Amino acid sequence: MPKRPLFKQLLIWRAKYISHNQFVIILSILVGFTSGVGAVVLKNLTHFIQNIMEGQLVKYYQEAFYFLFPIVGLTLVYLIMKYVIRHKVSHGIPSTLFSISKRKGLMKRYQMFGSILTAPLTVGFGGSVGLEGPTVATGAAISSNIARLFHVNQTTRNLLIGCAAAGAMSSIFKAPIAAIIFAIEVFSLDLTIASMLPLLMASLSAILTSYFFLGNDVLLSFSLEEGFKLSDAPFYLLLGVVAAFTSIYFTEVYDRIQRLFDKSDSPIKKLLVGGSLLGVLIYFIPPLYGEGFEVINNLIAGNHQKAIQNNFLNLNVDNIWVVILLLAGLVFFKIIASALTFGAGGVGGIFAPTLFMGSIMGNCVAKLINHSGFTNYPVSESNFTLVGMAGLMAGVLHAPLTAIFLIAEVTGGYELFIPLMLTAAISFGITKYFHPHSVYTMELGRKGELITHDKDHAVLTLMDINKVVETNFIKITTTMTLGDIVHEAVIKSNRNIFPVVDATTNTLKGIILLDDIRPIMFDPTLYTEVFARDVMQVPPDTIDIKKDKMTEIMKKFQDSNAWNLPVVDDGIYVGFISKSKLLTMYRRKLINITQ
């Protein structure tokens, strides 16, 4: 008897002695660790490149390098994608959401290292994006391939991807609770005991990994000194409104610039146009270089002069209105710089740009309140800076709970919980009215391919249309006589419906039901006189296999009251979908994802 391979023996031993739930916990700890390591590698590589570029070349030579850096970095990214990875590395979180909704949680192997090779070059050379998305994508790809290695089912695979997202955010911000909420909000995971424990273990494993490699080093360093005052509530409501409209501006600019770049099929043209425009922006506005956490920390510390030093107009930063104007300019141009980075082929995330814009927006609002005579008691600019980040996160990312808990954990307490809730709720509510989908999900949302907390919609999205199409129907051409129909179709088929197609193009022309011809099919005198085109009828509706999503297909059955609907591909007949098979598959998928 041939000896089994060692790994196969391991799988058999695991199945015998470790329960499924226990094994998921073990995998979640492993996934959290790998996500933490991925975050450490991405951060250190990026900072190493950035210190060389910005610290040495700019400091000891001249600031003209600010213009060249983005083009050089984006060119290196393009060459690595073309000759090393040989695949396009997509935006981190949207590509992960697409894998969950349309690829059953399966992510390709190159995605495990694609972002590690490209994101540090993008950000280190000045790309105005963040590392959070690439870190999540790296962890998610590793978790997906670990799940595939151990042959776990789709539901567990999706849960482990959520664990990777929680681990990535936990290790980056050292905020384990916010990381769990992020995974639940953004990846639409069900909050159950079965999912909660793996998410918790992954988040814990990742943050311990981060502490081991990075110590107490944190991205956002803050110690809360002023608490919430009831008299400030109206100003936090105002901040929520401002955050909402800033979120709408963010989403609109990002979407429109991406659409402009999508019109071009030439990656070289995108690189040159996007890289050049980005270089111009960074040359004139150096704070747009990279992630921008140094600017955020300076604002939180109350050091706005350092945050906007070296402005190209050499304006006096001792004048508060000049400061407000310059800060507002950073808010205005940051998303343009970020969208140009993506459009030119850069790899990164929009989480950091959201925090950057939100912090500056909050700081600007506080300065306007304090210097416009609205109140006799000045509001805390550092608190508004922090709450502004939460407001923009809630609006842009559609993740209000993540925003609230992230800032609460960063500040080390819950003194700002009330203003965080006020600002995040208003920002999210207004933005959601104008933009139903977040920046992460807008493309999938438009296509109807987005997994949401709506269980019915989630099940339909996960269903594969190709698995419910039936092709064992005998086709009838429009020129066939009644005799041909009876002898070539009715006698040979066990179905009571027949597609009528054009003999040369195979395009669907109609359908014939057995009931349509039953009154005449036993009269031989009509066999040569009646043709298919005479007795066919227009189907109650048709399904386009390329365009129609499962949600639309289910609605067509509901509206038409039909039990069978023909499926076409650009008008060409493909087969039929029956309501009974569709509902059977729906039931099986529902049971599968809720186990």
DSSP string, 522-553: T-GGGTTT-BHHHH-B--S--EETTT--HHHH
Q: Between the CA atoms of 469, 473, 478 and 482, what dihedral angle is there, to the nearest 10 degrees?
A: -150
Task: Note the pLDDT of residue 429.
Answer: 95
Task: Note the pLDDT of residue 298.
Answer: 82
Task: Note the pLDDT of residue 302.
Answer: 76
Q: Residue range 10-36: average pLDDT?
A: 86
- Quickly state the pLDDT bin for 453 (edges 50, 70, 90): very low
Regarding whether 495 and 377 lie in a shared domain, the answer is no
Q: Higher model confidence: residue 221 or residue 209?
A: 209
Task: Note the pLDDT of residue 6.
Answer: 79
Tell which residue, 91, 95, 100, has the closest CA to residue 452. 100
- Rounded to whole angstroms, how far apart are CA atoms 590 and 34? 31
User: pLDDT per residue over 280-325, tens digit each?
Assistant: 998 888 888 888 888 888 888 777 777 776 666 666 667 888 888 8
Regarding whether 572 and 502 lie in a shared domain, the answer is yes
Two tokens at 515? Answer: 């009931």
User: Which structural domain, as residue segments, surrounds residue 328?
Assistant: 230-452
Task: Note the pLDDT of residue 252.
Answer: 92
- Quickly state the pLDDT bin for 359 (edges 50, 70, 90): very high
Regarding whether 438 and 467 lie in a shared domain, the answer is no
Where would I find the beta strands (DSSP E) of 397-516?
A: 469-470, 476-477, 497-501, 508-513
Regarding whether 514 and 438 lie in a shared domain, the answer is no
Two tokens at 566? Answer: 């023909």
Strand partners for 507? 572
- Rounded to whole angstroms, how far apart are CA atoms 533 and 209? 71
Regarding whether 475 and 434 lie in a shared domain, the answer is no
- Rounded to whole angstroms, how far apart are CA atoms 140 and 96? 7
Regarding whether 79 and 16 lie in a shared domain, the answer is yes
Regarding whether 53 and 124 lie in a shared domain, the answer is yes
Residue 221 lies in a domain: no
Residue 473 lies in a domain: yes
Q: Residue range 480-498: average pLDDT?
A: 87
Tell which of 214, 240, 256 closes a domain: 214
Instruction: State the pairing for strand pair 497-501/476-477.
Output: parallel
Can you give the CATH number for the domain in which 379 is found?
1.10.3080.10
| Burial (Cβ within 10 Å: 0-12, 13-18, ≥19) of residue 513 | middle
Regarding whether 378 and 305 lie in a shared domain, the answer is yes
- Quickly state the pLDDT bin for 449 (edges 50, 70, 90): very low
Residue 30 lies in a domain: yes
Q: Residue range 344-371: average pLDDT?
A: 91
Residue 488 lies in a domain: yes
Q: Residue range 467-484: average pLDDT?
A: 87
385 pLDDT exceeds 70?
Answer: yes
Regarding whether 491 and 445 lie in a shared domain, the answer is no
For tokens 């996500």, name the residue: 35
pTM: 0.77
Q: Residue range 236-247: average pLDDT?
A: 96
Tell which of 154, 182, 214 closes a domain: 214
- Rounded to whole angstroms, how far apart are CA atoms 438 and 187? 12
Sheet holding 543-544, edge to edge: 469-470, 572-578, 564-569, 543-544
Residue 223 lies in a domain: no
Residue 115 lies in a domain: yes
User: pLDDT per residue over 26-62, tens digit each?
Assistant: 999 999 999 999 999 999 998 888 887 766 555 544 5
Q: Between the CA atoms of 252, 258, 263 and 268, what dihedral angle is there, to the nearest 10 degrees?
A: 150
Regarding whether 151 and 178 lie in a shared domain, the answer is yes
Of the listed ranges 45-59, 175-189, 250-264, the one predicted with least confidence: 45-59
Tell which of 419, 452, 485 closes a domain: 452
Contacts of 373 (CB under 8 A, 6+ apart): none
Regarding whether 468 and 444 lie in a shared domain, the answer is no
User: pLDDT per residue over 56-108, tens digit each?
Assistant: 555 544 556 667 888 988 999 999 998 998 888 877 777 777 777 667 778 88
Q: Higher model confidence: residue 16 or residue 406?
A: 406
Task: Note the pLDDT of residue 447.
Answer: 47
Q: Higher model confidence: residue 451 or residue 205?
A: 205
337 pLDDT exceeds 60?
Answer: yes
Residue 225 lies in a domain: no
Q: Which amino acid is at 53?
A: M
Average pLDDT over the chain, rounded to an integer: 84
Can you give the CATH number for the domain in which 475 is found?
3.10.580.10
Number of domains comprising the chain: 3
Query: Do 557 and 539 touch, CB atoms closer than 8 A?
Result: no
Regarding whether 194 and 128 lie in a shared domain, the answer is yes
Residue 1 lies in a domain: no
- How distant, in Å, are the alpha carbons of 402, 482, 491, 526 from that of 485? 63, 5, 9, 12
245 pLDDT exceeds 90?
Answer: yes
